[in-house]
C-alpha cells in the first residue's frame, strides 16, 4: 500500500516553472509523427503491466490525488458546485480510507475546475482547504471570440481567485499552419495569467493529424504553458492513448532541450478506473516518477472518481457495490 510519506512526498514535489523559449519555426517544421508506430505503442500500455490487489489500490489513490474534479455543464448551479467541492475535500469515504490504512492522510483532489461565474461559490465551499480553483477561459470550449476578449476573461478569473487557468487555443492557427500566430496568442495568455498556472487545451480531436498535435504541443510549451491538455471534453473525440503518447513525448523532448518540466492533462472520456491506470502507466513509462505528481499530471474528470471509489471498495470487501451508493463526483 502507498505510505503516508509517499503521498506527501508526491504532493510536495516542485520544479522550475516553464519560462518558455523564443519561437523557432525550424523546430516545429521538423516534427513528423508515424501514426502506425504510435498506435502500436499505445496498444501495449495496458498489456505490459499487470497492476493487482494492493498495488492497484495504491495507484488508484494516486489517480485521485492527480484529479481536477470538474463540472462544466450548462445546468451548473452554486448548489451542485458546493456538492462537488464537498466531494473534492473528501473524495473517498472515511471507512474505506481506514480499511486501507490511509485515514491519517489528508487525501484530496488536485483542483476543482469550473466556469468563471462559479469561482465564488467554489471558493466558499473550499475555504480552509489547500485545493485550488481552476477556471476555464478564453471562450471555452470553441475559443471563437477575439484575443482581447480572451485576455479579459483570463484576467477576470485570476482576480476572482482562480489559481489555475485552462485556456483553449485557436485551432484555426494549427489547421492553417500559422505557428507564429499560435505562439504569440499563447504568450499573451501566459502573461495575462500572471502567477496563475496555465493549462493549454489543444482540443486534439479537431486538429486532424497527430503531427499537428505534436507541433501544437511544442509551440504551446515554447510560449510558456505550464501544462498541455488534450481536450475540452466537449468534442466528439477527446482524450485517447495515441494522442496522449504524442503529447507526452513532446513534453519529454522539450524537457531535454530546455530543462523545463511541463505537465500533462488528459480530459474527456476517462470514466473508468482501468482507464486511469493506463494513463498512469503511460506517464511512468514515458516520463518517469516525477510526472506521477499533481504538479505535473492531472486527470480532467468527474464520473471517474465514483468508479475509483467503487473499485477501492471492491478491493476491501471482495464485492462490487451498486454505483448509486457512491456520491456524485
Mean pLDDT, consecutive 10-residue stretches, the chain (329 aa), reads 40 78 96 97 83 92 97 96 96 94 92 98 96 98 98 98 98 98 98 98 98 98 98 95 98 97 96 95 96 97 91 91 67
Whole-angstrom distance, CA of residue 253 vs CA of residue 23: 16
Catalytic annotation present for 284 = no
The one catalytic residue among 87, 199, 229, 261: 229
Residue tagged active-site, from 68, 166, 226, 278 = 166
Whole-angstrom distance, CA of residue 221 vs CA of residue 194: 16
150 catalytic? Reply is no
- pLDDT at position 282 is 96
Catalytic-labelled residue, pool 150, 265, 278, 295: 265
pLDDT for the residue numbered 328: 59
Give the domain ranges of the chain: 4-325
The CATH T-level fold of domain 4-325 is TIM Barrel (3.20.20)
Quick one: which of 200, 210, 208 has its CA closest to 172?
208
pLDDT at 321: 79
98 catalytic residue (yes or no):
no
Amino acid at each position: 500500500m502507498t505510505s503516508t510519506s509517499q503521498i506527501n512526498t508526491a504532493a510536495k514535489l516542485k520544479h522550475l516553472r516553464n519560462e518558455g523559449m523564443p519561437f523557432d519555426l525550424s523546430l516545429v517544421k521538423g516534427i513528423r509523427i508515424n501514426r502506425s508506430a504510435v498506435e502500436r505503442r499505445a496498444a501495449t500500455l495496458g498489456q505490459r503491466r499487470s497492476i493487482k490487489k494492493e498495488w492497484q489500490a495504491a495507484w488508484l489513490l494516486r489517480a485521485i490525488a492527480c484529479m481536477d474534479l470538474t463540472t462544466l455543464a450548462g445546468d451548473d448551479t452554486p448548489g451542485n458546485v458546493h456538492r462537488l467541492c464537498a466531494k473534492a475535500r473528501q473524495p473517498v469515504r472515511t471507512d474505506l480510507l481506514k480499511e486501507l490504512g490511509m485515514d491519517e492522510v489528508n487525501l484530496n483532489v488536485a483542483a476543482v475546475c469550473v466556469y468563471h461565474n462559479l469561482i465564488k461559490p467554489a471558493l466558499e465551499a473550499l475555504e480552509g482547504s489547500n485545493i485550488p480553483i481552476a477556471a476555464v477561459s478564453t471562450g471555452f470550449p470553441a475559443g471563437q471570440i477575439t484575443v482581447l476578449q480572451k485576455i479579459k476573461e483570463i484576467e477576470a478569473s485570476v482576480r476572482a481567485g482562480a489559481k489555475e487557468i485552462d485556456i483553449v487555443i485557436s485551432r484555426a492557427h494549427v489547421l492553417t499552419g500559422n505557428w507564429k500566430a499560435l505562439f504569440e496568442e499563447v504568450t499573451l495568455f501566459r502573461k495575462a495569467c500572471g502567477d496563475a498556472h496555465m493549462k493549454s487545451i489543444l482540443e486534439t480531436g479537431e486538429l486532424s493529424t497527430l503531427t499537428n498535435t505534436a507541433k501544437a504541443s511544442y509551440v504551446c510549451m515554447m510560449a510558456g504553458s505550464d501544462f498541455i491538455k488534450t481536450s475540452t471534453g466537449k468534442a466528439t473525440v477527446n482524450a485517447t492513448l495515441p494522442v496522449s503518447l504524442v503529447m507526452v513525448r513532446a513534453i519529454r523532448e522539450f524537457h531535454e532541450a530546455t530543462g523545463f518540466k511541463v505537465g500533462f492533462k488528459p480530459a474527456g472520456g476517462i470514466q473508468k478506473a482501468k482507464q486511469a491506470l493506463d494513463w498512469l502507466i503511460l506517464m511512468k513509462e514515458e516520463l518517469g516518477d516525477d510526472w506521477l505528481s499533481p504538479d505535473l499530471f492531472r486527470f480532467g474528470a468527474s464520473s471517474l472518481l465514483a468508479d475509483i471509489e467503487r473499485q477501492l471498495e471492491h478491493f476491501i470487501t471482495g464485492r462490487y457495490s451498486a454505483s448509486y451508493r457512491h456520491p456524485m463526483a
